[in-house]
Structure 1
Amino acid sequence: MHPDSARELKALLLERLRSMPSARDHGPGEGPHVAVGLAPAGGGRARVAVRLEREADRAVLPDLGASAGSELDVRVIGRVHALSSPTPGELQGRVRPLRPGLSVAHPDVTAGTLGGLVRVPGGLAVLSNNHVLAASDAARVGDPVLQPGPADGGSAADRVATLAAFQRFSAEGNLVDAAVATLDDGVEADPGAVPGGPLTGPLPRPDGIEPDEEVEKVGRTTGHTRGRITAVEVDGVAVQYDRAIFSFDDQVEIEGLAGGFSAGGDSGSVIWRSRDRAPFALLFAGSDTGGSQGTGVTFANPLATVLDLLAAEWVAELRG
């Protein structure tokens, strides 16, 4: 169907799901978990992507009629987890100057990924997830950030940045899992040191992210991987963190082209489009099962939303 018609059907399905007794009887973070977005159908058309945690969750899907039901792309993807920690050995070691893909973390976190460099009011900063740089809201602005992260041997001597801002989680719903930390004095960085060269393509707005695009990322655990966008505008993505489950709306779903696209420790990676090297999303969560290959799916925040909320500007490369 036309993408606008798919958006209308998505809205109807979400309204029905949220009004059902099974949804009202559970508190925030409790099951069943059903995420709904848009999936490619070829020829510029779209279907409604429905993602279930368990096969049994099919029972909560409302009857929309035969014609509408045929426009649903329903898949079981398993539990979605925030991807902190356990290999590309070099990405997990101590590396200077800093560059995208390296191990990084708050001292109280295992390890995640340095996604890229951004400019904030306080200067040049590293971009990653809240659960990587800000310990899932447990940190304070001014806390240190280490490279590599503690899981990879990082200690106080490996401090490279200072936590400057993060978007707090809300039980009412979330758009991003993101944080920035300004570089400490004397710490050098090379934001353009990405496989294939700097990410200088035009930054798309969330509604400009198209399904079926081939994409890439470089992350602390799985290194440089390639994938494909399998759904966009996905609402109701329930993500398991250490202490709670938080729901996210307007997310991007990605599958790997050859095996999994990401694994634990890749959280914070910036994802770019292969065709024009445009950075468009911040990786933060994934599942180990489900997807068309059974190797799980990855979820990411639209990068434009991340930058807007953190008052940050993408830095593709530093010119001397």
Structure 2
Amino acid sequence: MRVGVSISNIKGAAGTLGLFVESEEMDGQFILSNNHVLLDPAGRGECRIIQPGRNDLIKSADVVADLVLWKDVVVGQVNVVDAAIARIRDPESGHVNNIPGLGSITQVSNVPGLFSGVAKIGRTTGLTYGRILGKGICAVSVAWDGGVAFFDDCIEVGAFPRKFSNGGDSGSVICDLKGGAFGHLFCGGWRRRFGVRVLKVTYATPLTTVFSELKLRLL
């Protein structure tokens, strides 16, 4: 496994492996992605995580991890993170936080300033570059099972002329160009002008918030 590959719950849709992490409260090595990537969408308690994700299967997939911790996303309320971790079954495989084409992720950083150059690697669009267009954005609305969930303190990223992300990139980490990971991608949306869509944008949660909420450390 590596950062940016396709993963999913064995019953769910494919998303992205964001980072390899450790827990302050549990033994083992873990993968970080989104709640909506790693949880059983049917709510039946299936915890097996496969690589590649279910949408990308050709013949079969390996069960690589088991879901152990997540933050619930509550419909109709303001949420802080869309995040979950799964314990890796084979911790001896030399998992490293490295983005091919960009380099090693050396630290979890604060969100850079507006218009800073950033990058991410994801299951669908691969390695892409963009710029921060907004910070501390509140009430970002996301369609969720049973309604709409809202997220506060979001980062907004755009890319020109390409998209920064697309469906299936959920769970990716967003980095500055010096090896600092600062954002956890959870959805996409649109910038509008006079009601017209003018720019596809990506939304992320500050990674410091994710690490604080789930009590994580960079592996």
> Is TM (by shorter chain) over 0.5?
yes
Local SS of the residue matching 2:155: strand
Q: Tell me the CA shift for residue 283 of structure 1.
A: 0.4
Change in Cα spacing, 1:189 to 1:128, as seen in structure 2 (3 Å) is farther
Q: Which residue of 1 aligns with 2:9?
A: 106
Distance 2:77 2:144 in 1: 15
Measured after TM superposition, the shift of residue 139 of structure 1 is 5.7
Separation (CA, whole Å) in 2 of partners of 1:308 and 1:130:
16
Q: How does 1:8-87 map to 2 (within 5 A)?
A: none
> What does 1:1-320 align with in structure 2 at a 5 Å threshold?
98-120=1-23, 121-135=26-40, 138=43, 140=45, 143-153=47-57, 157-170=61-74, 171-185=76-90, 188-195=93-100, 196-200=102-106, 202-205=107-110, 208-274=111-177, 276-287=178-189, 289-290=190-191, 294-315=198-219
- Cα RMSD after superposing both structures: 2.2
2:55 is paired with a residue whose SS is helix
Contact 1:233 1:249 in 2 (8 A): yes
Query: What is the CA distance between 1:107 and its match in structure 2?
Result: 1.4
CA deviation map 1:87-113 (0-9, x unaligned):
xxxxxxxxxxx1101000001211000
Hey, which of these two has a bigger chunk of helix by percent?
A: 1
The share of aligned pairs that are identical, in percent, is 36
Gap regions ≥5 residues in structure 2: none
Query: Aligned partners of 1:229 and 1:249: how far apart in 2?
Result: 16
> 2:98·2:105 contact (CA, 8 Å) conserved in 1?
no
Give the structure 2 partner of residue 59 of structure 1.
Answer: none
From the superposition, tell whether residues 245 and 136 of structure 1 become closer, same or farther in structure 2 (CA, over 3 Å): farther
Instruction: Give the 3-state SS of the residue equivalent to 1:231 in structure 2.
Output: strand
Kindly provide the CA deviation profile for residues 193-232 of structure 1, in whole angstroms up to 9, marking residues without a partner as x. 31221111x4234xx5422111000000000000000000
Which amino acid is the alignment partner of residue 153 of structure 1? L
Kindly indicate which of the two structures has a greater share of residues assigned to strand: 2
What secondary structure, in the 3-state scheme, does the structure 2 residue paired with 1:304 have?
helix
Distance 1:174 1:144 in 2: 25
- SS of 1:218's equivalent in the other structure is strand
Q: What TM-score comes out, normalization by structure 2 length?
A: 0.88
Structure with the greater alpha carbon radius of gyration: 1
Contact kept? 2:183, 2:207, Cα under 8 Å: yes
Q: Which moved more, 1:247-256 or 1:292-301?
A: 292-301
Q: Could you tell me how far apart the structure 1 residues matched to 2:204 and 2:41 are?
A: 16
Contact 2:7–2:53 (8 Å) recurs in 1: yes
1: distance between equivalents of 2:16 and 2:66?
Answer: 16
Alpha-carbon shift at residue 137 of structure 1 (Å): 8.6
Amino acid at match of 2:201: V
SS in 2 for 1:221: coil
SS at match of 2:37: helix
Contact 1:118 1:313 in 2 (8 A): yes
Q: In structure 2, what is the Cα distance between the partners aligned to 1:122 and 1:223?
A: 31
Q: TM-score normalized by structure 1?
A: 0.62
